[in-house]
Each structure stands twice: as C-alpha cells, then as structure tokens.
Amino acid sequence: MPVEIIISQIFNGLSLSSILLMIALGLSITFGIMGVINFAHGEFLMIGAYTAFILQRFFHGQDSGYYFLLSLPLAFFVSAFIGLIVERSIIRFLYGRPFEGMLATWGLSLVLQQAARNIFGANNVEVSSPAWLNGGIEFIKGVQLPYNRLFIIAIAVICIIGMYIYIYTSSSGRRMRAVMQNRDMAACMGIKTRRVDSVTFAIGCGLAGIAGSVVSLLGSIGPSTGQNYIIDAFMVVVLGGVGNLSGTIAGAIMIGAVSPFFEFVTTSSMGKVIVFALVIAFLQWRPSGLFALKTRALD
Amino acid sequence: MDKKAYQFLKKNWPYIFAAIILILLPNLLSDFRLNLFGKFLTFAIVAIAIDLLWGYTGILSLGHGVFFSLGAYSMAMYLKLKSEELPDFMMWSGLTDLPWFWRPFKHFWVALPMAIIIPALLAIIIGFPTFRARIKGVYFSILTQALALVFSIFFIGQQPYTGGTNGMTNFQEIFGYSLSEASTMRGLYIITVIVLVAVFILSRWLISRKTGRVLVAIRDGENRLRFLGYDPSIFKIGIFALSAGLSGLAGALYVPQVGIISPSMMGILPSVEMAIWVAVGGRGTLNGAVIGAITVNGAKSYLSETFPDIWLYFLGALFIGVVLFFPAGVYGIFERFKGKKAEEKGVLSNRGETDYAAEK
C-alpha cells in the first residue's frame, strides 16, 4: 500500500477518533456517575449539528464564515440545556437502573429523531463549510491534510484539555469525582449529589453538541446523524473502561484508527465485523476496559 | 370429577381458555387479520425467549433481532429454493452457481433445524467469551446491540448471498402448498399456535425446575451463587443459546406468513423493540411477555395504519412511560390488583424493588 494512502487513512482515522472522543466523554462520565447508559446521546450530537445549521441560515450571505466559530459554544449550550431538561424530567428517575435506563433513553432518542424529522424534514440538510476551512496543508507530496479535519482534531484536543482542567482542578470537578467514587460518602460530606448529576449530564450533552457542530463540516446532517456515531462511541466506552478520561481517549484512538483501516483493506461491511470481533477478543484480555478504576469490590 | 384433574383445571383454566380462543380465531377473524395475528404470535415466542433471558436470568440482550432473522433467513432460503432454481437476486449479481452453503437448504429437514441451530451457535460463540470474561450488565447489552448493527450491515453488504437491503421475498410454496392460498395461511397459523403453546410449556417447565432457580439466582445474586460452587457462566451460555434458538424458530415461522425477510428486521430498532415488548408486558412473567408482544404489536399496526407520523412518538413515549411508571409492566398492574395472593403462591413473578437494586 502506498505511503500516501496510509498517511491519509491515519489522518482520517484521527479525525474520526476526535469526534468519537467528544461523544464518548459524555457517555462515559454520565455512566460513571449515575449508572445510566444514555442511548439518546447521539441525538444530542444531532441537536448540535442542527444548531450549526440554524446559525448558518441566520447568517446567510455573509462570506467570511467566521460565524461558524460561534456555533461551537452555541451548540454546547443548546445541547447542554436540553440535556438539563431531560435529566430533570427523565434521567433522574433511572439512577441505578441501567437496563431500564437504556430502554427509556432509547425511547427518548426515537422521540427526538422524529421531532427533528417533523421540524427540519426527513431529508438531510447541508451546512456549508466556512471558506477558511477549505483546502488543506500539503503534508508530503500527494498527501493533503484538509483544514476541516485538522480543525476537528484541534477542537477535540481543546475539549479534552478543558475537561482535564475542569475535572482535576476545579472544585466542581472535584465534587464530581467524589460522587463518582462514592456517592453516599460524598453526600455525607455535604455535596449536593443531585446537582452534581445534573451538571455532569448537561456537560456530557454539551460535548456531544460540540461534536455535532463539527460533524456538520464533514457532510450533510439529518435526523439519524447521531445514530451513525453512537455505536462506535459505545465501543469506545467499553474499550476504555468507564468513568475515566485516559481510558476514553485511548479507546477513541483505537476505534478511530482501526475501523477506517479495516474498512479500507476489506469492504466497509466486513470492516465492521472485524472491528466487532476485535473488541470481543480485546475484552478477553481486559474485561473491564483499558483503564478500569482499581477496586476491591466484587462488582 | 377426579380431584387431580379438577385441581389442574382450577389452576390452569386461563391458559386453557386462551389456547381454545387462539385455536378458534381462524373462524372469527378475516384472513388478513388472522395473518397479522399469526405474525404477532411469532413475536410472542420471541418475547418468551427474551423473558427467559432478561426477566429470569437478568441478562438483557439488545440483539435478538439477529437471532430471529437468522432463523427467518434459514427458512427463507428453503422457500426461495423451492420456488426458483437459482434465486433472482443471485442472477442479478451475476452468480451462475448456487453457493455451497446454500445447497443443504434445499431440504426442509435441514432448513428447519438450521433455523434453530445457527442462532444458538452464534449465541454460544458470542456468549462463551463474554460470559467467561464476566462481562455483564450493560456491557453485555451494548455488545449485543453492536452485534445487531454489525449483522445488519454485513447482510446488506453481502448482496449476492443474502439479497442485500431488499432481503428475500416472492416465495411460492411450502411443502407443495401454495403460499397464496388462505387455507395454507390458516394451517401456518395453527402451527404457530401449537409451537407457541409448546414453547410456553417448555419455558414454564424449565423455570419451575432447579435450573430455573439457578437462573433466578444469577439474576439476584450472581456472586453468591458462585461462592456456592456453581459456575454461572455455563448457565448463562446455555440460556442465551436456548433463547437464541427459540427466537430463530420464531423467525422460521414468521417468514412463510409474512412473505418477506430483510436486514431491517435484524437492526438495532427491531431488536430493542423486542425487549420493550417484554418490558411492557411485565418481565419475569411468561404471561406478561406474551401479552406484551401482542398488545404492543397490535397497537403498532393500528397506529401505523391510522397515524403513521405519530407511531414513533408513541413508541418512544411507551418506552419512557413504562419504565418510569410501570416497571412491572401490564401484567404487574394486573398482579397488583390480585394483591398478596400471588406472593403466597410463591411464584417468581411480580418482584418488588429488590431486583432493581440487584441489577446495580
């Protein structure tokens, strides 16, 4: 295989990893903290993507396209706000009931998709890339690294750094870790665990929203956009182990790097089968993920 | 009357009553409705299979659409070969010879067992490594969900061998009986009723035995069971394989009645829907599973005929509503009216809040 193709495959893989990472971070922390697997998480990505779309309609005709930068924080806040409503109205009743949580959030994702279909139409819509993201750097001869993918990777890196700072240095992040490790003890120490839950869930949804707004750079978006990414994001969480950043990052890089490779070498359907088999094989070696929290508890 | 027979009748009269109604339905319903109801009954078999796995053993599989479809495809291959020498989609993809793995499916007595064996084997292949590695709870559910996605993509991708997105359709006859005849459909319906009753009795027998107690013990306290010297993974693999095999059997009954099978039946949406039938009916009770499958699908066909747009909202709301307000399902509400009576009988059904804590 020529070097050019390998390099561009790795590069595409990295940008896929970045998107998966932003989705999986939210999934992982909400599962770690509340024991709820959020099947509607992909729909928060969709909400982010449609936020970028609406913003573009609003600023229609402005050539510079710098308004796209505005869509990132806006997507974060819109998704986070809707996430907050969902947490307050549905998720909070599902703590510690993971199976029911899965079914209920799956139902929520159906409702959100159908709502998107009714509001924006069943067809996919296009978010045009801003002019300053067209083109790319010529890395070596024959290999062009597109700016929009570089931009996605940069946004993911910024999000990770932001999350690191938030979780490990801020007092709010410290409360979050405390609740994750021992909810009852944290509550005894005066931490308002309910509020921590809400904030965590909202942040997770917000991250998915940012992912959604950058996904709109790669192609058209539609009501089922979230579904394209959610299963891979689940695989990232399973691989990485729940509730820690480094595991999620490692898992995202693995899935993102491996799946385009196999899809390229074989066919796209065969590639998915191989990746799934690899995940199961991997779990033989590390059943609770790469960086599982070390614990003496049995479960 | 013999006292024993009287006791039996007193205990089981609702079941006997239900079975008689099911057998009499062909005389009451139009052919179209009967066909539809036959489809629901195959779904009820799947619901029982899922209930054995989820309600009793505490393992939620979100990939049962795959097992159901594998059974359905096995039967579809037989039906296809019965009506054409070389299936039409193979010709369109340029195949001139029947692939080797298609050949045995010419024979009914290969196709029917395969409809059970192939899903069960797949379940063992997936279950062996995952249960051995003590992967459980939501991790297992997520893996089975990925299985559903992978298989549907795979079947769509292998157009020359599986018929791709369109799947298989245009079946002419089964056992020499034309599939367009109403009488054949009635026969298939009666067979479905018999299989459903048989599966129900088999499942009741299984859970009333020691094996059933072990399964419930896995649900309620797997580690404790392990300390007692049992190997839960063997039981889990076994019940997973049985559940998959029963789903495959249901699929094999589904295909001749509905006349089409495509990868859309094995994707994530149908698989999760199957779990919701059980949740709506009431998991941990076989009656609940059957009732759930029939009511949800009845509502589905009514709503998607009358208000196609609303159906998905309704389904979503159903998922959320059942989980939030009726965790024990329809049958649970029914049981609650009966009050303590059920508890005194010592049935495994209608469990309280304790099992939710155990799932944690």
The pLDDT, as a whole number, for residue B357 is: 40
Q: Please tell me the least confidently modeled range out of A176-180, B1-5, B96-100.
A: B1-5
**Residue B358 scores a pLDDT above 70:** no
The tens digit of pLDDT for each residue in B191-203 reads: 999 999 999 999 9
DSSP string for B78-90: HHHHHH-SS-HHH
Mean of pLDDT values over A165-180: 91
Please state the separation of Cα B321 from the chain's center in Å. Answer: 23
Can you point out the beta strands (E) in chain B? 168-169, 173-174, 177-178, 260-261
Distances (CA, A) of A298 to A294, A295, B216, B223, B226: 11, 8, 19, 8, 12
* Alpha-carbon dihedral sign for residues B83, B86, B91, B93: positive
Residue in chain B closest to A109 (alpha carbons) equals: B316
Please measure the distance between the N-terminal and C-terminal CA atoms of chain A and give it in whole angstroms: 46
DSSP structural state of residue B229: T
The pLDDT, as a whole number, for residue A51 is: 93
Shortest Cα distance from A278 to chain B (angstroms)?
12
Shortest Cα distance from A108 to chain B (angstroms)?
6
**pTM attached to this predicted model:** 0.89
The pLDDT, as a whole number, for residue B321 is: 87
A7 vs A149: CA distance, rounded Å: 14
Instruction: Round the average pLDDT of chain A to a whole number and report it.
Output: 86
- Taking residue B219's Cβ as centre, other Cβ atoms within 10 Å add up to 20
Burial class (CB in 10 A: 0-12, 13-18, 19+), B110: middle
Judging contacts by C-beta atoms under 8 Å, the chain A residues touching residue B63 are none
Judging contacts by C-beta atoms under 8 Å, the chain B residues touching residue A280 are 126, 129-130, 143
β-sheet bridge partners, residue B174: B177
**Residue B318 scores a pLDDT above 90:** no
The tens digit of pLDDT for each residue in A76-91 reads: 999 999 999 999 998 8
Range of the domain at B73: 3-359
Q: pLDDT band for position A200 (50/70/90)? A: very high
**For residues A100 and A167, is the Cβ–Cβ distance under 8 A?**
no
Q: How many domains does chain B have?
A: 1
The pLDDT, as a whole number, for residue B351 is: 44
The pLDDT, as a whole number, for residue B48 is: 96
The tens digit of pLDDT for each residue in A3-60 reads: 788 888 888 888 899 999 999 998 888 888 888 888 999 999 999 999 999 988 888 7
**Residue B347 scores a pLDDT above 50:** no
B171 vs B177: CA distance, rounded Å: 11
DSSP string for B212-224: HHHHHHHHHHHHH
Residue of B142, B144, B271, B274 for testing the chain A interface, max A β-carbons within 10 Å: B142
Q: pLDDT band for position B124 (50/70/90)? A: very high
DSSP structural state of residue A125: B
Q: Please tell me the least confidently modeled range out of B32-46, B82-96, B229-243.
A: B82-96
- For B295, residues 6+ apart whose C-beta sits below 8 A from its C-beta are B280, B281, B330
Mean of pLDDT values over A200-222: 92
Judging contacts by C-beta atoms under 8 Å, the chain B residues touching residue A104 are 319-320, 323-324
The pLDDT, as a whole number, for residue B136 is: 78
A111/B129 CB distance under 8 A: no
**Residue A292 scores a pLDDT above 70:** no
β-sheet bridge partners, residue A221: A125
The tens digit of pLDDT for each residue in B125-167 reads: 999 999 988 887 888 998 899 899 889 989 998 888 888 888 8
**For residues A181 and A3, is the Cβ–Cβ distance under 8 A?**
no
Q: What letter represents residue B254's amino acid?
A: Y
Shortest Cα distance from B298 to chain A (angstroms)?
18
Q: pLDDT band for position A61 (50/70/90)? A: low
**Residue B230 scores a pLDDT above 80:** yes
The pLDDT, as a whole number, for residue B352 is: 41
Mean of pLDDT values over B258-268: 91
A224 vs A221: CA distance, rounded Å: 8
The ranges assigned to domains in chain A are 3-285
**For residues A202 and A84, is the Cβ–Cβ distance under 8 A?**
yes
Q: Which two tokens stand for residue A159?
A: 């999000």
Distances (CA, A) of B268 to A93, A228, B62, B159, B239: 25, 12, 7, 20, 22
**Which helix (H) or strand (E) segment is A138 a member of?**
strand A136-140
Instruction: Please state the ipTM of this predicted complex.
Output: 0.86
Q: pLDDT band for position B345 (50/70/90)? A: very low
**For residues A205 and A83, is the Cβ–Cβ distance under 8 A?**
yes
Judging contacts by C-beta atoms under 8 Å, the chain A residues touching residue B327 are 100
